[in-house]
Every structure is written in structure tokens, then in C-alpha cells.
């Protein structure tokens, strides 16, 4: 938007490219064509909020925000529950349920669902096999929902030994993600062959990644400039101590077996983890990304353009930058997707990350719940949901 940089750097009090036309209309001026801008406006940072409420109570307004969506917050008890009720003044009409309760307390959601305490439950991976077994009464309610998200292992291209592409490729070939998914996660995820998730518009069906091949991995490492002189490697994840997650321990063993390399796994608390990610100081790290909006730019552009502030691997490729810049201004979706596909393949070949999984969220949903959808992003959509009571 015109004027954002001036506002951000303190050169202006307001964003000049945003003008109030009337009580219900804004005019937004862009400094260049941005094909995904309307998609960006669907994300929470573009939602209309009550300025007076925020200024009157800057620390607590989020506990009962006065928003413009189909619901209002009736109750917010941290770690216990959130209760939503219809916003009768919503400009497209009120929703079709009287109340939505998000239960945040402990206990097995599958058990609570089976006891008829809740309408919708998320099934954790360890419980999935039991839910889907032929003996379970819950299988008929099962509804998987692929997410617009990816988990991956990042490697810092500014830090040895990952400044050598042969080392990065060796680690990619030495990582058996399929085995981890089957043994540890009960096939709860989709093994990621690329960056763009399968349900994302613009998904690249022809993407080619490094398959699990421990022999090839060893060959590549032997060809690298760190052969026989491997520095200390630390993989960092967000945690509070104790044993590393089972998946990271499995990867440790896989790299030990295929490459003869001992990778240390270190947990640091969330705030410190984010700080070090932003500084670009982590040598190797486990992380992920959930779409803000459903466009390839939100994955390939946000994570891998040279000037992105969340390019934590310090990856930089002029050809990728040129493709992303061109794709950002094109209006033809198919032409844009072709450019993103080319950029994605280059990134995968350069191996700044090892994609691990595309997420699937596993739900139990009662038959009486109508028009329920999971958009696959972090922003839920409940406007059309309703309860069919005809079967009661």
C-alpha cells in the first residue's frame, strides 16, 4: 500500500494510501500491481476493529473484541473455553446457530465426542488408528481435512556445513520421512514432496524432490568439502526441555546411520526460538508454516525470497527472486502458477529445507452439523454452520 513504508519508519503519522470514503467504505491505493492483494485482505490483520475500544483498553480488548464478523465473544476464559454468540448487526445477516462453544480444557476429545458432550472433535495422531479400526463406533463420523501448511527442517546457508549444497542434499537423501509418518504418526500426515500443499490453488503436481536414498546421501557427503571434517551440528526446536520429539530422534538416528554424522538436538523456549529464527542464527531448525491466505506467494514468496524477513535459512537465488517478482504482478492465474512452479523446483533442488509433512487435521463431526468446513488455514469459518434437529 502507498505510504506503508513511511508509516513504518516513522516518517508519517498515517498511511497515505488508505482513505476513508464513507462510514462503510475504504479506498486502498497500491504502489504497484499485486495479484494476491485481495487474498491478503481475507487474513486477520485486515479485519476491521474498534479503534475506540483498543485505545480505551489496549491490554484487554482481545478478551471481548467488538469486531465486524458474524459472531461476538460472549465468554473468554483462557485455557478453559471461548463462547461465541451471533452478531445480529453483521452486514450479511446473522449466523445460523445460537452459540458456539470452544472447549479448551483437558481430556480426550474422542471420549467426550463418544459421550455426546461435543459436536466436533479433533483426533490426535495416537488415537487415529483406534478411531478408524473396524471395531470403533466413531469411524462413521471421521472427516479428514488436509491443511494449507507444511512442516520442514531448515538449514542455514550462512553456517557451515550447510553452506555446501552437497551437504544439504546429503541430509535430504538421508531423511526417511515416510517411515516416520508410518511408525510414529500412524500415517496421520501427507509426506511433503515439495513446498506447496496439495489443496492449495497452484499446487505443483510435477514437483520432484530428493527421495530417501542413504547410499546416495553418503556419496554426496563424501564429495562435499566437509567430508571427514564435519563441524558440530545443532538442530534447534521450540520446547521446554526433556527428550526431543520422537520424530527428531528418528531423524537423528537416520543421519547417524546414513551419514555417520551426530546431530545434537536442542530445545529452547518459544520466545527465544522466534528471536533466533528472526536473527537467522540457528544452524538447523525444525519449524513449519500455515497459510495466511490461499496463494502460492504465501509459501514460496514469504519463505524464500531474498528480502523476506522470515527467510530463516538465509536462502538467496536471483532466478527465484526474478520469478517471484514477475509472478506477483501477473493477473492470469495459470501464468502465475507456472512461475511459482519453476521457483519451487529451483528451491527444492537448492535444498535450503527438507520438507517433511503436509498436515491433515482429523475430525469427528456429528451428522447433525451442517455446512461445516475447515478452510485449512488458521482462520476458522463458521458463518454457515447450523445444527439439523430434524433427527432428534
* Residue 88 included in any domain: yes
Query: Average pLDDT for residues 55-83, to the nearest whole number?
Result: 92
Among 63, 82, 108, identify where a domain stops: 63
* Residue 160 included in any domain: yes
Instruction: Please tell me whether residues 163 and 280 are part of one structural domain.
Output: yes
Instruction: Please tell me whether residues 150 and 136 are part of one structural domain.
Output: no
Q: Is 21 helix (H, G, I), strand (E, B) or coil?
A: strand
Instruction: Please tell me whether residues 50 and 126 are part of one structural domain.
Output: no
pLDDT category at 99 given cuts 50, 70, 90 is very high
Q: Which domain holds residue 126?
A: 71-145+367-387
* Residue 392 included in any domain: no
* Residue 154 included in any domain: yes
Among 60, 107, 67, 106, residue whose Cα is nearest residue 84:
67
**Residue 247 zone, left/alpha/beta (φ > 0; ψ -120 to 50; rest):** alpha
At residue 391, the pLDDT reads 64
Instruction: Please tell me whether residues 263 and 286 are part of one structural domain.
Output: yes
* Residue 272 included in any domain: yes
Q: Answer whether residue 28 shows pLDDT above 90.
A: yes
Instruction: Please tell me whether residues 297 and 150 are part of one structural domain.
Output: yes
pLDDT digit string (tens) for 104-155? 887 788 888 999 999 999 998 888 888 887 788 899 999 999 999 999 999 9
| Structural domain count, the chain | 3
pLDDT category at 327 given cuts 50, 70, 90 is very high
Cα distances (angstroms) measured from residue 369 to each of 102, 264, 376:
15, 47, 18
Q: Answer whether residue 330 shows pLDDT above 90.
A: yes
Instruction: Please tell me whether residues 193 and 334 are part of one structural domain.
Output: yes
Q: Answer whether residue 271 shows pLDDT above 80.
A: yes
Instruction: Please tell me whether residues 295 and 347 are part of one structural domain.
Output: yes
Residue 313 contacts by C-beta under 8 Å, 6 or more apart in sequence? 154, 155, 156, 157, 304, 352, 353
For 113-127, 206-220, 254-268, 293-307, which range has the lowest pLDDT when averaged over its residues? 113-127
DSSP per-residue letters across 250-272? HHHHHHHHHH---EEEEEE-HHH
At residue 44, the pLDDT reads 87
User: What's 329's DSSP letter?
Assistant: H
Instruction: Please tell me whether residues 241 and 297 are part of one structural domain.
Output: yes
CA 285 to chain CA mean position, Å: 15
- How many CB atoms lie under 10 A from the CB of residue 48? 10
CATH classification at residue 129: 3.40.190
Instruction: Please tell me whether residues 12 and 127 are part of one structural domain.
Output: no
At residue 392, the pLDDT reads 58
Instruction: Please tell me whether residues 41 and 133 are part of one structural domain.
Output: no
pLDDT digit string (tens) for 302-326? 999 999 999 999 999 999 999 999 9
The 8 Å CB, 24+ separation contacts for 168-172 are 168/350, 168/351, 168/352, 169/210, 169/217, 169/220, 169/351, 170/217, 170/218, 170/220, 170/221, 170/224, 170/259, 171/217, 171/255, 171/259, 171/351, 171/354, 172/209, 172/210, 172/217, 172/351, 172/354
Instruction: Please tell me whether residues 164 and 139 are part of one structural domain.
Output: no
Could you give the CA distance from residue 67 to residue 61 in angstroms, rounded to a whole number?
A: 11
Instruction: Please tell me whether residues 188 and 334 are part of one structural domain.
Output: yes
* Residue 208 included in any domain: yes
At residue 242, the pLDDT reads 73
List % helix, strand, coil for the chain (3-state, nearest 5): 30, 20, 45
pTM listed for this prediction: 0.90
- CA dihedral sign of residues 349, 351, 354, 359: negative
Among 63, 88, 105, identify where a domain stops: 63
Whether 200 and 271 have beta carbons less than 8 Å apart is answered as: no
* Residue 110 included in any domain: yes
Q: Answer whether residue 82 shows pLDDT above 90.
A: yes
pLDDT digit string (tens) for 336-367? 999 999 999 999 999 999 999 999 999 999 99
- CB-hemisphere CA count at 13 Å for 133? 9
Residue percentage of the chain with pLDDT more than 90: 79
CATH classification at residue 333: 3.10.105.10
Query: Average pLDDT for residues 148-168, to the nearest whole number?
Result: 98
* Residue 169 included in any domain: yes
Amino acid at each position: 500500500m502507498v505510504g506503508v513504508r513511511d508509516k513504518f519508519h516513522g516518517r508519517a503519522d498515517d498511511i497515505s494510501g488508505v482513505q476513508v470514503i464513507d462510514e462503510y467504505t475504504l479506498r486502498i491505493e497500491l504502489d504497484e500491481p499485486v495479484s494476491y492483494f485481495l487474498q491478503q485482505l481475507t487474513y486477520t490483520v485486515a479485519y476491521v476493529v474498534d479503534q475506540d475500544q483498543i485505545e480505551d483498553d489496549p491490554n484487554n480488548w482481545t478478551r471481548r473484541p467488538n469486531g465486524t464478523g458474524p459472531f461476538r465473544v460472549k465468554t473468554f476464559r483462557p485455557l478453559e473455553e471461548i463462547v461465541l454468540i451471533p452478531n445480529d448487526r453483521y452486514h450479511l445477516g446473522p449466523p445460523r446457530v445460537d452459540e458456539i462453544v470452544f472447549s479448551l480444557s483437558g481430556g480426550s476429545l474422542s471420549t467426550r465426542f463418544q459421550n455426546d458432550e461435543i459436536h466436533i472433535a479433533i483426533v490426535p495422531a495416537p488415537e487415529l488408528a483406534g478411531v478408524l479400526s473396524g471395531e470403533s463406533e466413531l469411524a462413521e463420523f471421521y472427516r479428514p481435512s488436509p491443511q494449507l501448511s507444511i512442516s520442514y527442517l531448515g538449514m542455514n546457508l550462512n553456517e557451515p556445513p550447510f553452506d555446501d549444497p552437497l551437504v544439504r542434499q546429503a541430509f535430504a537423501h538421508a531423511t526417511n520421512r515416510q517411515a516416520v509418518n508410518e511408525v510414529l504418526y500412524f500415517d496421520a500426515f501427507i509426506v511433503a514432496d515439495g513446498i506447496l500443499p496439495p489443496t492449495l490453488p497452484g499446487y505443483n503436481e510435477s514437483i520432484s524432490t530428493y527421495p530417501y536414498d542413504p547410499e546416495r546421501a553418503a556419496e554426496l557427503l563424501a564429495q562435499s568439502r566437509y567430508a571427514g571434517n564435519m563441524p558440530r551440528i545443532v538442530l534447534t526446536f521450540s520446547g521446554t526441555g526433556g527428550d526431543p520429539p520422537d520424530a527428531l530422534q528418528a531423524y537423528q538416528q537416520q543421519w547417524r546411520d546414513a551419514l555417520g554424522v551426530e546431530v545434537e538436538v536442542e530445545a529452547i523456549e518459544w520466545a527465544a526460538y522466534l528471536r533466533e529464527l528472526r536473527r537467522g542464527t540457528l544452524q538447523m531448525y525444525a519449524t513449519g508454516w500455515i497459510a495466511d491466505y490461499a496463494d502460492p506467494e504465501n509459501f514460496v514468496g514469504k519463505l524464500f525470497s531474498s528480502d523476506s524477513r522470515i527467510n530463516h535459512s538465509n536462502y538467496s537465488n536471483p532466478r527465484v527472486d526474478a520469478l517471484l517478482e514477475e509472478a506477483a504482478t501477473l493477473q492470469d492465474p495459470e501464468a502465475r502458477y507456472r512461475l511459482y512452479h519453476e521457483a519451487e523446483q529451483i528451491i527444492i533442488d537448492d535444498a535450503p529445507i527438507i520438507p517433511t509433512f503436509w498436515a491433515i487435521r482429523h475430525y469427528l463431526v456429528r451428522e447433525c452439523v451442517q455446512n461445516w468446513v475447515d478452510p485449512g488455514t488458521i482462520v476458522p469459518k463458521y458463518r454457515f454452520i447450523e445444527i439439523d434437529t430434524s433427527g432428534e
